[in-house]
């Protein structure tokens, strides 16, 4: 589906076919325009005689290195297979060189991975970003028998990545797809700021009733505009917890990766004073922080909702002050502010007042811009 989507977005299908032919797999390749649930896409197909032979990582690496492929496409494809071999080795408790790529090593899967890497190169893609991954549900039949979805290797490859299950009860993300995403994606989540140049849709084999069986790629150039990302907001109203414990929970949440945590006084039912705990987080950390809130506070329930977060481009400038070096955060609109933790540290180390250190940092930065 990814190869089809890249071709649909403008990657030269003839160049893709020539690159895959150079692997000498004995297969042939076609690109066909199809519709899925009323939407148009490109179906990439591999035609070859099914065989039962297995392949090992070393043999696949030799095949890729021998092909007439762009150098970076070779490196990316080998990186994907290395990642996949590591996951399969862990899932089946064998040495990485003993892994039999029975399904992944088949010609069609080699074509999928190498074709995707060549397509990225043809489109000049420098960085990949991936949305949360729909893994599917139910079971899948493999040479190891019936396995739960996601398959063990897929689950390992997507550890720490945002996933969900929606649609038909079947495997919607294979180990091959998970390996490509895990090995090549710079990040997972909302689309990064970009100027869109092209979009493409790659079609799967099935035509689902629930949704279009298509994978979309969006190609573009990084935008210098303010960043806009999707975040999750987690909230709880708490009226039976010590302020000391709440303060500790705030510290633990920030240390665990929350983007921001705040405590707000409330007047709750029956006139009782309480506190609103609000946490802003990246979606992939949501469940980690939810578990932490339940562990460190007395709340029995949480509210969770999505929100859009806009962040200006910013960078740090280090300035010299009479009491030491301090970083100043500079926004895209020219606004600036001394980094609080630097000022706090310098004030404690030197005995100067915090307000004096802040003033010195502001003065030093203004002088550097004149």
Position 226 scores a pLDDT of 56
DSSP code at position 1: -
What 3-state class would DSSP assign to 143?
A: coil
Question: For the chain, how far is it from start to end, CA to CA, in angstroms?
Answer: 54
**CA nearest to 108, candidates 151, 64, 44:** 44
What is residue 370's predicted lDDT score, i.e. its pLDDT?
Answer: 73
**21 in Cβ contact with 68 (< 8 Å):** no
What is the rounded CA–CA span in Å between residue 191 and residue 344? 36
Peptide bond into 294 cis (omega under 30): no
Is pTM, for the whole model, over 0.75?
Answer: no
Q: State the pLDDT at residue 56.
A: 82
Candidate CATH numbers 3.30.930.10, 2.60.40.10, 3.40.50.1820, 3.30.70.1380; the one for domain 228-310: 3.30.70.1380
Structure tokens at 257: 């990766």
97-130 per-position pLDDT tens digit: 767 665 555 788 899 999 999 999 999 999 999 9
Q: Give the pLDDT confidence score for residue 106 in this predicted structure.
A: 74
Token pair 């030197």 in the structure block, residue: 350
- For 95, the 3-state DSSP assignment is coil
Per-residue pLDDT of the chain (370 residues; tens, 9 = 90+): 999 999 999 999 999 999 999 999 889 999 999 999 989 999 999 998 766 566 788 889 999 999 999 999 999 999 999 999 899 888 878 878 767 665 555 788 899 999 999 999 999 999 999 999 999 999 988 877 898 999 999 999 999 888 999 989 999 999 999 999 999 998 888 787 788 999 999 999 998 988 899 999 999 998 755 565 778 999 999 999 999 999 999 999 999 999 999 999 999 988 899 999 999 998 888 999 999 999 999 999 999 998 888 777 788 999 999 999 999 999 877 889 999 999 999 999 999 999 999 999 999 999 987 7
Please, where in the chain does CATH 3.30.70.1380 lie? Answer: 228-310
């Amino acid at each position: 589906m990814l190869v089809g989507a890249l071709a649909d977005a403008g990657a030269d299908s003839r160049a893709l076919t020539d690159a895959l032919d150079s692997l000498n797999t004995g297969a042939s390749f076609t690109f066909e325009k199809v519709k899925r649930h009323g939407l148009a896409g490109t179906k990439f197909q591999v035609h070859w005689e099914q065989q039962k032979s297995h392949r090992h990582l070393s043999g696949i690496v030799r095949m890729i290195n021998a092909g007439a492929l762009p150098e970076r496409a070779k490196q990316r494809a080998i990186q994907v297979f290395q990642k996949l071999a590591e996951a399969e080795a862990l899932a089946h408790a064998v040495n990485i060189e003993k892994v039999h790529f029975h399904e992944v090593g088949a010609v069609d899967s080699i074509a999928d991975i190498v074709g995707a890497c060549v397509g990225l190169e043809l489109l000049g893609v420098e960085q990949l970003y991936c949305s949360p991954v729909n893994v599917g549900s139910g079971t899948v039949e493999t040479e190891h028998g019936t396995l739960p979805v996601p398959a063990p290797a897929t689950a390992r490859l997507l550890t720490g990545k945002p996933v969900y299950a929606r649609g038909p009860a079947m495997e919607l993300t294979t180990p091959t797809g998970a390996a490509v995403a895990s090995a090549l994606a710079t990040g997972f989540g909302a689309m990064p700021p970009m100027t869109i140049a092209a979009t493409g849709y790659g079609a799967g084999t099935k035509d689902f009733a629930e949704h279009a069986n298509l994978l979309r790629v969006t190609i573009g150039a990084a935008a210098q505009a303010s960043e806009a990302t999707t975040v999750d907001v987690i909230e709880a109203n708490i009226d039976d917890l010590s302020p000391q414990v709440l303060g500790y929970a705030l510290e633990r949440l920030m240390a665990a990766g929350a983007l921001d945590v705040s405590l707000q006084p409330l007047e709750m039912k029956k006139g009782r004073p309480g506190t609103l705990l609000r946490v802003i987080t990246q979606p992939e950390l949501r469940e980690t922080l939810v578990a932490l809130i339940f562990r460190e506070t007395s709340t029995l329930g949480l509210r969770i909702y999505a929100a859009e977060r806009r962040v200006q481009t910013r960078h740090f400038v280090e300035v010299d002050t009479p009491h030491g070096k301090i970083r100043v955060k500079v926004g895209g609109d020219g606004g600036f502010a001394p980094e609080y933790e630097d000022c706090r540290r310098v004030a404690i180390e030197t005995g100067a007042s915090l307000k004096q250190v802040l003033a010195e940092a502001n003065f030093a930065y203004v002088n550097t811009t004149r």
